[in-house]
Amino acid sequence: MSTRLRGDRGVIAPTDWKRTRVRWTARTAHAVLLAALVAIGLGPMLWLAKSAVTPTQDTLREPLALWPNGIDLANLSEAWTRVEIDQYFFNTVALAAGAWAVQLLVAATGGYALAVLRPRYGKVLSGVVLATLFVPAVVLLVPLYLTVLDPPLLGTSLLNTFWAVWLPAGANAFNVLLMQRFFSSLPKEVFEAARVDGAGPYRLFWSIVLPMSKPIIGVVSVFAVIASWKDFLWPMLVLPDPDLQPLSVRLPALQRFVELDVFLAALAISTLIPVVLFLAFQRMFLSSAGLGGAIKG
Amino acid sequence: MATTRTDHGRIAAPARAVPRQAARPGRRGPRRSRRSGLHTLVFLLPMLLIFGVFSWFPIGRAILMSFQQTNLVTDPTFVGLENFQTVLADPLLWTAVKNTLYFAFLALLFGYPIPLVAALLMSEVRRAKGLFSALAYLPVVVPPVVAVLLWKVFYDPGPEGVFNTLLGHVGLGPYAWLQDADIAMPSLVLEATWAAAGGTIIIYLAALTGVDPTLYEAAEIDGAGIWHKIWHITLPQLRGILLITFILQIIGTAQVFLEPFLFTDGGPANSTVTVLLLIYRYAFTSSLGGDYGAATALSLMLAIVLALFSALYFRLTRSWSSS
């Protein structure tokens, strides 16, 4: 009996791979696919990298020249300093960091209360939280904007503050669901043992549950940072002050008054960090993306 | 009670006694949970506050506002169904609905079969599999705004534009990608597909590793060829995930905003005005100052349609992940 793992083989049988015709067809198909992926996936990135250091005239005259006539590294420094990409870059980082912290706080504490402490009204509460998954983001656009203009309890407008992006990011039922599911799958005996040893709910949360939950914290973190980095419409609405805007909101406006080569340099700088993060944490990104299909999109 | 000798009463009497006895050992429960109830509330506080203010409250407000005339100066007044009537009477609404459906249709046409074929091929790769997935996923990592702005440069209508130069080599074009009302929408969808296909490929790849190899082995014993196995084993095994990505794509494309907003701002000749762009215009760019009532009324109508899809999606993922 074979005890092979799933994913060990695909449609093509091991015996098929020994047939020359099958092997060559598959290899050719893979070579074509690889060439297509390089051209489509990597091509635009390479073009952007090249054009970021090419004078505008060269890019306009011969956009597909493999090697530019002159190299203009000044584009990059000009984009960073004169166009103040650095400022928008740090705004983007600050927005992502705050949104990440709020999302993690809400999802971890809420998920813990619902999955481990289990209050009697827990079922109803998680139902009300999960129900928001059915409400598409578009419904909230206008009323959420008005809420940020005049929030209840607070009495002062959040417009043009980072809180306007950070706090609404926390209302993410999907994160709560992920955390709750993961916490309920942890072995109950560990909780009981900790309780017998005298650990209260805070100690249990901080010293037992959180250290055991690194994988799910990682997944929620990746989702939170990516979503924040990509967000456009919401920060555009609540941060009308250009000094506070992230890259995604500022770049379209820059296009109107910056020459092409510096603009492309700015685009390249904005792309660099996510791409480097992706290459560094490739496995985590790809497994999160696969998981995304199982529960979310 | 006892005199009404119905069948119901007779069965209910003994059944009532059982849970009462079973509940007795749990007597200590309430006292303990009242003390820990406070701690539970502390942990629930961030969630209750954030969801209360930024989710439940705005949802209620959305429903209320769609029946109100709201501007930020005077108090809102109830106007019944007037907002809905205004929106439904707007000739631009039907253009927007038609355009959104067209976008969704093209997005399925471009973005549905290609990732499936790519994932099927990639799952047979035996060396450097990671390189294939990384290359496929790279466009997904590019910030969407950067992707749109970069493609806007590629779509330069002059013969020296990037795409026009490429197509010029095979004697096509030049095309006015974004300025021609006939091809503006396909141009938008082409970029959107480029930006999203990698994510779908990774989802399919993950699903493909879940196909039980013994199914293939059993089919091979029966003498099945490769195409036969793909058609009768692989695709049926992927049925669930194919349906899920289909629904997700519908929900996503129905709310498309970024591409029409940044590429064309709805033009040329309103050929790329989508429903979400229309909502945005009602609320934030109206010359009369935000028509929030009309915007929420339209949001609500779109949301009801989408909620049906999300409910279907939720049911599918539940049964799918539990099996």
Would you call A66 exposed, middle or buried from its count of C-beta atoms within 10 A (0-12, 13-18, 19+)? exposed
Which residues of chain A does CATH 1.10.3720.10 include? 92-254
| Two structure tokens written together for A139 | 């419904």
* One domain for residues B312 and B183: yes
Q: B68-69 and B77-78 as β-strands: parallel, antiparallel, unpaired?
A: antiparallel
Residue B46 in any domain: the answer is yes
* One domain for residues B99 and B61: no
Interatomic CA distance for residues B260 and B100, integer angstroms: 10
In SS3 terms, B36-101 reads as HHHHHHHHHHHHHHHHHHHHHHHHHHHHHHCCEECCCCCCCEECCCHHHHHHHHCHHHHHHHHHHH
Q: Is the pLDDT of residue B259 over 80?
A: yes
Interatomic CA distance for residues A205 and A112, integer angstroms: 7
Query: Is the Cα dihedral B210, B216, B218, B219 positive or negative?
Result: positive
Residue B95 in any domain: the answer is yes
Q: What is the pLDDT of residue B23?
A: 41
pLDDT tens across B143-201, in order? 999 999 999 999 988 888 889 888 888 888 788 889 998 899 999 999 999 999 998 99
Chain A residues inside the 8 Å CB shell of B141:
274-275, 277-278, 285
Q: Does A40 touch chain B (CB under 8 A)?
A: yes
Provide the domain limits for residue B206.
82-322
Are the C-beta atoms of A101 and A230 separated by less than 8 Å? Answer: no
Are the C-beta atoms of B190 and B110 separated by less than 8 Å? Answer: yes
CA angle B161, B162, B164 (to 5 degrees): 65
Residue B114 in any domain: the answer is yes
In degrees and rounded to multiples of 5, residue B77 shows phi and psi of -120, 145
Residue type, A99: A
CATH number at residue B292: 1.10.3720.10
pLDDT tens across B70-97, in order? 776 677 888 888 889 988 988 999 999 9
Average pLDDT of span A227-247: 93
In degrees and rounded to multiples of 5, residue A169 shows phi and psi of -60, -30
Q: Under CATH, what is the fold of the domain A92-254?
A: MetI-like fold (1.10.3720)
For all residues of chain A together, what is the average pLDDT?
Answer: 86
* One domain for residues B277 and B174: yes
3-state secondary structure of A69: coil
Q: What is the pLDDT of residue A97?
A: 96
Interatomic CA distance for residues A25 and A46, integer angstroms: 30
**A29 to B314: CB separation less than 8 angstroms, yes or no:** no
Residue B3 in any domain: the answer is no
| Two structure tokens written together for A94 | 């600050």
In chain B, what percentage of residues exceed pLDDT 90? Answer: 37
Average pLDDT of span B101-116: 92
Q: Does B120 touch chain A (CB under 8 A)?
A: yes
Q: Give the contacts of B101 (CB within 8 A, at least 6 positions apart).
A: none
Are the C-beta atoms of A263 and A257 separated by less than 8 Å? Answer: no
Interatomic CA distance for residues B125 and B107, integer angstroms: 27
| Two structure tokens written together for A80 | 């960073």
Are the C-beta atoms of A88 and B18 separated by less than 8 Å? Answer: no
Q: What is the pLDDT of residue A291?
A: 64
**B144 to A248: CB separation less than 8 angstroms, yes or no:** yes
- The more confident residue out of A72 and B66 is B66
pLDDT tens across B266-282, in order? 888 899 999 999 999 98
Q: What is the pLDDT of residue B97?
A: 94
For chain A, the C-alpha Rg in angstroms (whole number) is 25
| Two structure tokens written together for A144 | 């959420």
* One domain for residues B47 and B180: no
Which range among A112-121, B2-11, B190-199 shows the weakest confidence by mean pLDDT? B2-11
Residue type, A276: V
Interatomic CA distance for residues A17 and A24, integer angstroms: 9
Residue B13 in any domain: the answer is no
Are the C-beta atoms of B174 and B157 separated by less than 8 Å? Answer: yes
* One domain for residues B125 and B197: yes
For all residues of chain B together, what is the average pLDDT?
Answer: 83
Interatomic CA distance for residues B296 and B67, integer angstroms: 9
Q: What is the pLDDT of residue B286?
A: 66
pLDDT tens across B287-303, in order? 656 788 889 999 999 99
* One domain for residues B55 and B95: no
Other C-beta atoms within 10 Å of A115: how many?
Answer: 20
Q: Does A73 touch chain B (CB under 8 A)?
A: no
Residue B230 in any domain: the answer is yes
* One domain for residues B46 and B98: no
Domain count, chain B: 2
Q: What is the pLDDT of residue B289?
A: 62
Q: Look up the ipTM and state it.
A: 0.87
Q: Does A35 touch chain B (CB under 8 A)?
A: no
Q: Is the pLDDT of residue B30 over 80?
A: no
Residue B6 in any domain: the answer is no
| Two structure tokens written together for B287 | 């010359």
Residue B104 in any domain: the answer is yes
Min CA distance, A216 vs chain B (Å)? 17
A17-22: long-range contacts at Cβ-Cβ below 8 A with a sequence spacing of 24 or more?
Answer: A22/B226
Interatomic CA distance for residues A272 and B146, integer angstroms: 11
**A260 to B36: CB separation less than 8 angstroms, yes or no:** no
- The more confident residue out of A1 and A181 is A181
Q: Is the pLDDT of residue A59 over 90?
A: no
Are the C-beta atoms of B154 and B161 separated by less than 8 Å? Answer: yes
Mutate to test the interface with B, among A48, A139, A256, A271 (most CBs of B within 10 A): A139
Interatomic CA distance for residues B239 and B245, integer angstroms: 10
Which residue in the block uniquely carries the two structure tokens 């049906």? B308
pLDDT band at A68 (very low <50, low <70, confident <90, very high): low
In chain B, what percentage of residues exceed pLDDT 70? Answer: 85
* One domain for residues B177 and B231: yes
Enumerate the β-bridge partners of residue B68: B78
Nearest CA in chain B to A7: B209
| Two structure tokens written together for B81 | 């169904």
pLDDT band at B107 (very low <50, low <70, confident <90, very high): very high
Q: Does B132 touch chain A (CB under 8 A)?
A: yes
